[in-house]
Structure 1
Amino acid sequence: MHMRVAIVYNEPSPSRYDTSGETKAVLGVLDAVAAVQRALLELGYDIIRLPLTPSLEQARVKLRSLDVNLVFNLFEGFCGYPETEALVPEALSELGIPFTGCPGTVLDSALDKVRVKVILQAAGIPTPDFQLLNPQTLHLFQLDYPCIVKPRGEDASHGINETSVVDNPARLAKQVQLVADSYGGGALVEEFIDGREFNATVLGNSQAIVLPVSEIV
């Protein structure tokens, strides 16, 4: 009997990311789904695809209906609502269905860039000096320019583009206001470090396996 694997992902839908010019990033999940499906079929697994669309309760009903051995989790949250990213692993944990990727608690923590920086600092891992600012607290700014301004709670690089690096008070104020208007909440302002960017993928539970490091270019 072949193992049945469900590929669970968020169905791209209109969201506030459309007006931010980030539609391409949202649609990227479909490329990932296709690539994972090809690989799993080549390995002999039976595959079903399960796209999820808002609402939360409908998503939970679909997950409860699954009759599979494993879920390959590519769900990144409903479009425009990254805080829902933990929905799938939390539901699957309750149902006792094995799944790939991080548990919901880790996804929740990773979504908060300020929380991640505090965790890194506590572990002794260097990270640029930062402040959490909004348009009303700009007068408290005390970092050294240049700085990079990011939404505090968006997934990956949403809200980060060529205007995110600022080198004077006027540009800082404009970018913090843009983050507040577009994404809500505070803006994470960090001292900017010019350099290369890498991804390091770690697999495993009790014993970790680090895959080859890839560079974002």
Structure 2
Amino acid sequence: MRRLRVGLCYDLAEKHQPRPGEPPDKAAELDSRETVEGLSQALASLGHEPLPLGDGRELLQFLQAGGRVDLVFNLSEGLTGRSREAQVPALLEMLEVPYTGADPLTLALCLDKAMFKRVLQAEGLPTPVFRTVEGPSAVEALDVPLPAFVKPLAEGSGKGIQADCRVESPEALRRVVRRVGETYGWPVLVEEYLPGAELTVGILGNGAARVLGSMQIEFLPGSGEIYSYRTKQDYLDLVRYHVPPQLPAETVQAAQEIALATYRLTGCRDFGRVDLRLDARGRPSVLEINPLAGLNPVSSDLVILARRRGMEYRDLIGEIVQAALDRHGNNGS
């Protein structure tokens, strides 16, 4: 493979820390310097020239000034709007710059949990029954089967998820829906709570996409049995990861087949991760998909899963880059 100039696009969490009155997990989806440096080192070890560019605005300034790269490795989550993850890919497509990962349509669809779930339902893929609460005026009349789970409609990385998001009474339901809506914006998603094991499935590639592996998340005391922002931050103390999952082989196989079908249905590219839970009968159901899965070299789920499967970080990044090059009709030679 020839040496490529690879631009890195990302939103640094340290530049967007919460102000007084803002939620403490405001920057939960954004990347750390550790991630940018780890990715840069991996690309350099593969023989490429990494060029950290910064966020979408900085990327635009670079391109407007005549800057050129062979490929953009996109980590950018964006900052505002339910289509924020689509902003950088849309810019790159307009300017015909090759990039890693999903396109604008897939990223916008998958961030809006209700839209994503409607697509799954239309194709007969399992996902918890849900409804959206459009605003404060709809809270008092809210009537859903309990227990239920309350989430922000368009957030990731456990943002907005707390122990009280699993609700078991009408009073708690109304209280938590108001909190989530007032803090993270309306609409709010309310879905059926599934009591079974939680697992995530990593996927790599495109036309011949393959399952990298599955990882079960075992919740330890203090986690609240929820993969919340706090749990993800303190994962060494609050969860135990099992690769392969400590579940029946047929259950894992079913989860992987559903995950791969979800990846293909939504048009994910190069890499991604699908989160599932088992229902009361042990059947896997899709919670959400992350077509822009985190790539922190130490703590991101996809990276941990790859490492447990014997794939080093450098090789994971190499597969993502090669998949993007193949998709763009450039094998790097």
Structure 1 length-normalised TM:
0.86
Uncovered stretches (5+) of structure 2, i.e. residues with no partner: 218-238, 240-333
Q: Is the 8 A contact 2:12 2:31 kept in 1?
A: no
Structure 2 residue aligned with 1:146: 147
Coordinate RMSD, CA, aligned: 2.4
Q: Output the amino acid matched with 1:99.
A: Y
CA distance in 1, matches of 2:197, 2:74: 28
Q: CA deviation at 1:28?
A: 4.1
Gap change, CA 1:197 and 1:17, over 3 Å in 2: farther
- Write out per-residue CA displacement over residues 150-178 of structure 1, whole angstroms, 9 at most, x where no aligned residue: 11122342111111111111111111111
Letter in structure 2 aligned against 1:212 = G
1:59 CA displacement = 4.6
Call closer, same or farther: CA 1:119–1:156 in 2, change over 3 Å. farther
Contact 1:89 1:99 in 2 (8 A): yes
Match of 2:195 in 1: 194
The Cα of 1:26 is off from its aligned counterpart by 4.3
1:82 deviation in Å?
5.4
Q: Which residue of 1 aligns with 2:213?
A: 212
Residue in 1 aligned with 2:123? 123
Indicate the SS of the match to 1:200.
strand
Q: Distance in 2 between matches of 1:107 and 1:190?
A: 21
Partner of 2:204: 203
Asked whether the equivalents of residues 114 and 152 of structure 1 are also in contact (C-alpha less than 8 Å), the reply is yes
Count of paired positions: 213
Q: Secondary structure at the match of 1:143?
A: coil
- Report the counterpart of residue 183 of structure 2 in structure 1: 182
TM superposition shift of 1:7: 1.1
> Normalising to structure 2: TM-score of the pair?
0.58
Shift of 1:182: 0.8
Aligned to 1:136: 137
Picking from 36, 39, 44, the partner of 1:41 is 44
- The percentage of counterpart residues that share the same residue type is 33
Find the counterpart in structure 1 of residue 165 from structure 2: 164
Structure 1 pair 16–149 and aligned structure 2 pair: CA distance change class (3 A)? farther
Task: Call closer, same or farther: CA 1:15–1:22 in 2, change over 3 Å.
Answer: same
1:188 is displaced (CA, Å) by 0.5
> Higher RCO, 1 or 2 (CA under 8 Å, sep at least 6)?
2
Pick aligned residue for 1:52 from 51, 55, 77: 55
Aligned mates of 1:17, 1:125 — CA distance in 2: 40
Preserved CA contact (<8 Å) 2:142 2:174: no
CA contact (8 A) 1:148 1:164 kept: yes
Query: Counterpart amino acid of 2:7?
Result: A
2:96 maps to 1:96 = yes
Match of 1:173 in 2: 174
Contact 1:17 1:23 in 2 (8 A): no
Between 1:206-215 and 1:2-11, the stretch displaced more is 206-215
Decide whether aligned partners of structure 1 residues 84 and 96 sit closer, same or farther in structure 2, where only a CA change above 3 A counts.
Answer: same
Q: Does 1:2 align with 2:3?
A: yes
Q: Distance in 2 between matches of 1:30 and 1:146?
A: 39
Residue 23 of structure 1: CA displacement?
A: 5.3
Deviation at 1:140, TM superposition (A): 4.3
- Specify the SS of the correspondent of 2:163: coil
